[in-house]
Every structure is written in structure tokens, then in C-alpha cells.
Chain A
Amino acid sequence: MSIIKSVDVKKWYGDFQALKGISMDVAEGEVLVIAGPSGSGKSTFIRCINRLEQHQDGQIFVDGIELTNDLKNIEAIRSEVGMVFQSFNLFPHLTVLQNITLAPIWVRKKSKTEAEEKAMELLERVGIPEQADKFPGQLSGGQQQRVAIARALAMEPKIMLFDEPTSALDPEMIKEVLDVMKELAKSGMTMIVVTHEMGFAKEVADRVMLFDDGQLVEENTPEEFFNNPKSDRTKLFLSQIL
């Protein structure tokens, strides 16, 4: 049973076609890594999944609901899908704790104490419970990204989307974020991860995809993808990146 399904998704920015018909599906509990050169449409595609971008042709189903312009559907899907951005995008005017409890309180209508308990649990899980009362600006990049992951998890999503979560980080901080993501993958979360961290893909991915020029050029298990790729485009990509 696939929890995300896309059928021939196309997307244009003006005259420029960023997605040229993407068809794929993701099973529940699966960890999918999307790789590909810059400008290949990876971000565009995963942003279509929670409708930060609108696709113009084709269909996307998330948890059985089709993404259309219906606001109710969009809000329902957004609260099922957590997203972590490359640039963290924490709310700078709120403390770490408030960042995490905001959506559960206002969208899920949880009580404040309940939301705070859950938030502390999540901070524990991402390893920074002592930073709860600081503001995002007072944290390091790696800590901020972990807060962002906790913020997304606070909504108890079924799916987590990661758009290059470690690209804005210094090397020593990358590990702490990847560790959190690995732990999350092992706990059975459905994840789509856009990343250049091939080590992460080898270790935890169930499947790896390569995007190029708005198209899905290869879809494979990690072993096959890295050791025995089907397409020449993948071989070229791997030779450049490894």
C-alpha cells in the first residue's frame, strides 16, 4: 500500500519546465533518497508533495487524498506531512519550545501542557532538551536543524520530507543531524530525503532515485544504485560526486 503516489507530475515555471512527468510511489515506512545534480527538480518535486508548489499536470495522492486546490485537503495533508528545510526556517521570534508547540496547539488544538510535554520528549529525542528556552538565533546550525526536525515531528506526521537538511551545515554538525535522521528512519517513519550525503543513502535508504533535468532517470536499491547502476547518467553522476 503506497502512502505517496505521483502520476506523471509536470510543473512549469513560466516557460521553463522543471518537472517533466514524474511517476513514482512510496510505501509506508519506506526511506527514499532522492539524488541528482543541481537544478534537476528535486526540491520542486518534494515541495509539490505538501503543496508548497503546485503541479500543473498529473496527480499526486498523499495518504489516499488527492492534492487539489481544495483548501481543506491541503491543510489536512500538511498536518500529515512534516517538512525540514535546508535553511531550517525556525521562527526567530519564538523560543525553541514555542517553535515546537505552536502547531500542535493551534492546528491540533492540544492543550499547552500536553504540547509542552510532547515537545520536551522530542527535544530529548533529538538530544537538546537543555536548549528549550533559548531562541533559535542562540543555537548552532546543527542544533537549529534538530529543532526543526522536532518541530515537524511534533505534529505526529505520517511522512517526513527533508530537502537537503545538511547542506547548510559545517561538517562537524552534519553528523549530529544525520544521526537523528537515522534514528528516525529506524523507528519506521516514511521519509523522502533529498540529499548529497551518499553515506546516509547507503546506510539507511530502502530505495534511491536519481533526478536529472526534471526527469526520474533511475530508481534502484542502494546496493544496485551505487555498485551496479542501470543508466549511464547515474554512472556519470556517481563519478562526479564520489
Chain B
Amino acid sequence: MQDNQTLESPPEIQFAGVSRWLKENLFSSLSSSILTVLSVAAVVSVFRSIIGFFISPEREWTAVTYNLQLYMVQAYPESDFIRVWITVGLLIFLLGLSWGFNSLKEKVLIKEWCDGLLKGISSFLFIVLIAPTNVDVEGTSVQVFNNNTRYICIALGIGLILAIYLLRKTYPKTEIIKDRISFLYISLLVGSIWIIKVPTVTFTANNERVDPDPFLPLANTTTIPWTIIFGFMIFGYLIGSFLKTKGKNSISRLILSSWVLAPLVIVSWIYRKPDFGMSNILTLDLPIAVGFSVLGILAIRTLNNKKIVPYQKYVTYGMLVLTVVIFFLPVLRQLKILFFITWLLVSVAPTIANSKESAKNLSIVWSVSVFILILLMRGASSDSLIVVPGSSIYGGFTLTWLIAFFGIAISFPFGVILALGRTSKLPVIRIICTAVIELVRSVPFITWLFFGSVMLTLFLPKGVEFDEVLRAIVVTAIFSSAYLAENVRGGLQSINNGQFEAADAVGLSTLQRITLIIMPQALRAVIPPIVSQVISLFKDTSLVAIVGLFDLLYIGSKVIPNQSQGANFLGTIQENILFCAIFYWLFTYSFARRSMKIEKRLGLGER
């Protein structure tokens, strides 16, 4: 009964509202009516020709659907695909975990959600309505969209609209958790790969191409893995939500570090399939790891001892000299790196581990990181058992993702350090940082890529060699840090001097002042330019094709349109380029949307 009263909003009034809106905004005068009609006509005709382009029989979309695997992993051998799936699964599990852990469990009115859906369905109806029936193929008109299909689609759309309308009426006040809606969409997506069928190409026994069979499921080999991975995602989400109720700080730190670790584990162990040899690990890595963790723990324990304190400086200098000497000795690369981080530990331990509690924590962190680091280095330095025809096991979207992710991740700390250096009071540091930034910025990215590919080896000590992908990542990271540094510097300048003074006045050290007060504010102030930088970096990864790497765009623009063997997709450049464009757009747009939300959430503190 009560419901009926609250439902008092008859559709007539809404339609009246619509017509009034139309009148006021679109048909307020003769000239505006003409303008409205003309622009609607223009929009319709443009959309018509775009849709016509997509569904014309001239388009060979099988060039895309058949080559999806090439697009994603390029030449990665099919026998080892489980590694690719583990990679994807791990990342998506982590995604679910952080999603569950960070979710605010925001709610939305079912009504509002329905309004959004209605918009989507109306756009679909619009497209169905204006889709051309015939298109011109080499002078003759060919039917591409038969009217029966159109009517079925329209009926379907109207049915959906009615259903949503009903839903809207029956639950006017009910709220639903936003995450559930997202899960509904994702499960529809995953469900659709079981049901929706897309044309692709098959071959007969004697390798003859069979023409597109429109009812072959798209890449039916992927349905089961994707479904399992979807399960993992939900699992991760549930674990994340559960951990959130525990609400420990250490858990969020753990999740954050697994985001740092997972990509490293992927590139050094999972994707590479290293040929490691158990004996190496047992006789070499394990003793080294134990040795260094003991060494580190000893350092942490003793350096704050009253008797040692006066000699702290000498220990640090001694360690530095030792590190430099070891660097030039012909020993395992692992040792060089370990000595370097031990030196870092020795220099920071006295300040960080100033109480029993923090000394214990630091010891644990140290031992765990030494073990992980050694294992990672073992994986990364062993030969890969994956054999591919090209120069690298990374190709297609995997390569794009890899360069973008590591390029950005590495450039963040360096960019921040460069920005701080450029604003430093010490002239030497300031001049060096300014020089680096200006030098890197003033030379085109492609030039740096060439430099990395051809000339970098000349500058490195003999015997140190990087693989082509690593070089591309290093160059990308350096290039991006210079730009990031300038963005961050802009943020630093926007911070009021009073913030520095207040931080000093409460007794924070310089490092604490930078990390706790200045940087969080500076970075927040420059989220928009950083987001555009990340987006353009993601797209600029396509330039690595120039040094012989097979990224997504290169496969779409060069590799597939030149395939003359097998399926023969010679000249299918339009379809492939369009696909690449949509693919890039999907990623950059969702990233931009995401970061807008984050900005809003963080914006709470501003004002």
C-alpha cells in the first residue's frame, strides 16, 4: 500500500517533461529547429557510413578474430600457454584482491542503474535503426543487414526497455552494491564467450582454408581458462573483502608489495620458463641467501650498539668501497647487486632500526627480500627454455603491457628523485638533475630507442648485456622519468611554504617531511598531467617496433596484413588498424575513468 503512494510519478508527466525539454533546448526557435534537424541528419549519416564500413562484406574481420592469439602473445609457443594463463590469472586474482580490499562497497539506487542501462539500450536501438540495409561494393549494392534481423533487434531492445522499466517501478528505493553490478557485467562478458559466435577461419586436413564459418565460437580454447580466471577474480575479491574486515595496515602493505612482486615473478620465472638447475639453487643460491641475511641481521643488531655507534660512518664507507671493488671484480652479478643493497642497508639501518621492535621488523624484511631477490635473479639470469623465432619471447600485447608497466613503475621513483634534485638547495645535485632532465627531454623518444638498441652496449662494461626488451624498458623509463620529474616539480611548486615550516616545526626529519607531507600533496596536485603522461606512454610503446620488437600495433599494421601463407590476410590493414585503435582506446579510456574516480576520492582532502 505504502509503496503505491511513493510510486506517484505517472509516465505522462515524464513524457511531458521530455517534450518540454525538447522544446526548450532543441526547438526553441525556427533557426534552432533547423540547426537541430541538420545536425541530427549529419550525425545519422556519419554513423550510417561508419556502421556500413564495419559490416560491409569487404571487411575481412576474420583477419582479427583468427589472429587474436598473435595479437596477445605473438610467437609464444602454444605448448607453454599454461604459463600465459598463469600470468593472467595471477594478475587478475591480485586485481580481485585489491578490489575487494579497497572497495568502499558503494551503493547505487536500482533506479539510477536502470537509467544508465536505458541509455545503453537506446544507443543500441539507435544503431540498429540507422544501420544501412545495403552498402556499395565496387559499384553494386549488396544487402548487409536484413530487415528481419533489424525487427528482431528492435523487438528485443523494446522488450528489454520494458523489463527495465518494470524493474525501476517495482524497486524505486532499493539500493544495490556497485561491485555486484560490475560482477554482473563481467560474468555476462565471460558467459558471452561461451555463447556468442564470431566468424573465424578453419583449415581442412590438407591445410586448405575453409571460408568463414559464422558459427564457430571465437577462440574456443580460451573459454575454459577465462572462466576459471573469472572464478579466481571472485575468489580474490572475497578474500580481499574478508581481509578488509580485519583492517590491518600490514595487509594493505602486503597487497601493495605483491603488486610489485607479481610482475617481477612473472617476467623472471613464469613467462620465461627458466632453465635453472636445482643444484645451482641448493649449492649456490641458498648459501648466499643465508649468508647475506645473517650479515644484514648482524649489521642491524650491532650498528646501534653504543660501542659501535662512533664507528658507524667507517662501516658505511668501508661497505661502499667493498661494493665498488666487487662491482669491478669478475664475480656473479648476483653478488654485485647483493653487496650494493647491503651497503644501502648499512647506511639506513641506524636511523630506521632505532628500537628493538623496528630492528626486528627490519631484520624480517631484510631476510625475506634477500631470499626473494636471489630467487628472482636466478630466474632472470637463467637461459629461457622458450624457443621463439624472433628476438624476444615477448610480443604483441604482452610486450606493450610489459614495457608500459615497467616503464611507468620504474620512472616513478626516478622522476620523483629527479624533481627533488632539481629543486634541491645543493648546486651540484641541482645542476646534474637539471642537465639530465633537459638532455632526455630534448631528444626524440625514437632516437633514444635507437640509442638503447645500438649504442648502449658501447657505454656498458664488457660482458654486461641486456636483452632487447630490457633495453627498451630502460629507455622508456628514463624518457618517462624526465617528463614525470617536470610534472612533479610543478606539483612541488604549488605547495605553500607554510607546509614546509609546519613540518619542520613539529620536528619531522627532511626525509619524513618529503615523504609524508610534501610528496603526497605535490603528486595529488598533478594527477591530471601524470595521467595524460601515462596514457601517452602507453601509446608510445608502439614506437618500439622501430628497434625490431613486435608490439601490438606492429602486428596489426605490418605482420598480419602481410601474411600470405596459411590463412592469407594480405592487405587487411583497415580491419587490423581499427582493431588496434579500439584496443588501445579501451585501455586508455578505462584508465582515465579510473583515475578520475581516484582523483575525486583524494580530492576530499583538498579545498
| Measured CA separation A125–B338 after assembly (Å) | 52
Q: Do the beta carbons of A83 and B605 come within 8 Å of each other?
A: no
0 or 1 for each of A49-74: is its CB under 8 Å from B? (1 = yes): 01010000000000000000000000
How does the 8 Å CB contact mask read for B461-494 relative to A, with 1 for contact and 0 for none? 0000000000000000000000000000000000
With A and B bound together, what is the CA distance between A82 and B506 in angstroms?
Answer: 7
Q: Is the CB of A83 within 8 A of B604?
A: no
Q: Which residues of B contact A17 (CB under 8 A)?
A: none
Which A residues from 120 to 179 make CB contacts under 8 A with B? 135, 137-138, 151-152, 155
In the bound complex, CA of A81 to CA of B602 (Å):
32
- The reply on B206 being an interface residue by CB < 8 A is no
Are A78 and B504 in touch, CB under 8 angstroms? yes
With A92-B605, A93-B524, A102-B516: A107-B506 Cβ-Cβ less than 8 Å: yes
Scan residues 72-88 of chain A and give those whose CB is less than 8 A from a CB of chain B.
75, 78-79, 81-83, 85, 87
What's the nearest-Cβ distance from chain A to residue B514, in Å? 12
CA of A137 to CA of B521, assembled, Å: 14
Whether B186 sits at the interface, judged by CB under 8 Å, is no
Give the chain B neighbours of A90 by CB distance below 8 A: 502
A79 to B509 CA separation, bound complex (whole angstroms) = 11
Judging by beta carbons under 8 Å apart, are A135 and B605 in contact?
yes
Of A79, A92, A94, the residue contacting B507 (CB under 8 A) is A79
User: Is B355 in contact with chain A by the CB < 8 A criterion?
Assistant: yes
- Of A91, A107, A135, A138, the residue contacting B502 (CB under 8 A) is A91
B284 beta carbon closer than 8 Å to chain A: no
* Chain A-chain B contacts (Cβ-Cβ < 8 Å), number: 73
Q: Which residues of A contact B133 (CB under 8 A)?
A: none
A52 contacts B504, CB within 8 Å? Answer: yes
Which of B505, B509, B605, B607 touches A94 (beta carbons < 8 Å)?
Answer: B605
Interface membership of chain B positions 280-294, coded 1 if the CB is closer than 8 angstroms to chain A and 0 otherwise: 000000000000000
Q: Which 8 A-B pairs have the closest CB atoms?
A: A89-B502, A137-B607, A79-B507, A103-B506, A89-B498, A83-B505, A78-B507, A93-B605
A151 nearest in chain B by CB position:
B506
Minimum distance in angstroms from A36 CB to a CB of chain B: 21
> Nearest A residue to B495 by beta-carbon distance?
A92
B607 close to A78 (CB less than 8 A): no
A85 to B506, CA, bound (A): 12
B498-538 interface with A by 8 A CB criterion: 498-499, 501-509, 512, 516-517, 520-521, 524
B505: which of A82, A92, A106, A138 is its contact (CB, 8 Å)? Answer: A82
* Cβ proximity bits A1-30 to B, threshold 8 Å, 1 near / 0 not: 000000000000000000000000000000
Q: Which residues of B contact A87 (CB under 8 A)?
A: 498
Report the Cα distance A78→B498, complex, angstroms. 16
Which B residues are CB-close (under 8 A) to A107?
Answer: 506-509, 512
25 A-B pairs, CB-CB below 8 angstroms?
A52-B505, A75-B509, A78-B504, A78-B507, A79-B506, A82-B506, A83-B502, A85-B502, A89-B498, A89-B499, A90-B502, A91-B499, A91-B503, A91-B517, A92-B605, A93-B521, A93-B524, A93-B602, A106-B512, A106-B516, A107-B508, A107-B509, A109-B355, A135-B604, A155-B506
A137 and B502 in contact, given A93-B521, A93-B524, A155-B507 (Cβ under 8 angstroms): no
CA distance A212 to B498 in the complex (A): 25
A contact residues around B524 at 8 Å (CB)? 93
Per-position 1/0 for B323-340, Cβ under 8 A of A: 000000000000000000
Please tell me which one of the listed residues B496, B503, B505 contacts residue A50 in the complex, with CB atoms under 8 A apart. B505
A106 surroundings in chain B (CB, below 8 A): 508, 512, 516
* Chain A residues within 8 Å of B503, by CB: 91
Bound complex: CA of A199 vs CA of B607, how far in Å?
A: 33
8 Å CB contacts to A: which residues of B577-607?
602, 604-607
Q: Which residues of B contact A50 (CB under 8 A)?
A: 504-505
A7 to B: closest C-beta gap in Å: 23
A-B contact sample (15 more), CB < 8 A, given A107-B508, A137-B607: A75-B507, A78-B504, A82-B505, A85-B501, A87-B498, A91-B503, A93-B524, A93-B606, A102-B508, A102-B516, A106-B516, A107-B507, A152-B506, A155-B506, A155-B507
Q: Give the shortest distance, in Å, between B181 (CB) and chain A (any CB).
A: 28
Complex: A52 Cα to B512 Cα, angstroms? 17
Task: Choose from A85, A102, A103, A137 the contact partner of B606 (Cβ within 8 Å).
Answer: A137
Nearest-neighbour CB distance to chain B for A143, whole angstroms, equals: 14
Chain A residues, Cβ within 8 Å of B496: 89
Contact partners of B502 in chain A: CB under 8 A: 83, 85, 89-91
In the complex, the answer to whether A89 meets B501 with C-beta atoms within 8 Å is yes
| Bound-state Cα–Cα, A222 to B606, Å | 42
Chain A residue numbers with a CB within 8 Å of B602 are 93
Instruction: Say yes or no: A92-B506 contact (C-beta < 8 A), given A87-B498, A135-B605, A137-B605.
Output: no
In the assembly, what is the distance between CA of A209 and CA of B496, in Å? 31
B299-337: contact bitstring with A at CB < 8 Å (1 yes, 0 no)? 000000000000000000000000000000000000000
B509 touches A138 (CB 8 A): no
Q: Are B501 and A103 in contact (CB under 8 A)?
A: no
CA distance A176 to B259 in the complex (A): 48
Rounded to whole Å, the gap between the CB of B488 and the closest CB of chain A is: 15
Provide the residues of chain B in CB contact with A75, threshold 8 Å: 507, 509
Residues of A within 8 A of B355 (CB): 109
Task: State the Cβ distance, B499 to closest chain A Cβ, in Å.
Answer: 6
Query: Roughly how many angstroms separate A50 CA and B604 CA in the complex, as a whole number?
Result: 32
The distance in angstroms between the C-alpha atoms of A137 and B520, with both chains bound, is 16
Q: Which of B499, B501, B605, B607 contacts A52 (CB 8 A)?
A: B501
Instruction: Output the least CB separation between B222 and chain A (Å).
Output: 43
Q: B601 to nearest A CB, angstroms?
A: 12
Report the bound CA distance from A102 to B509 in whole Å.
12
Instruction: Tell me which of B504, B602, B605, B607 has the highest count of chain A C-beta atoms within 10 A of its own C-beta.
Output: B605
CB distance from B139 to the nearest CB of A (A): 65
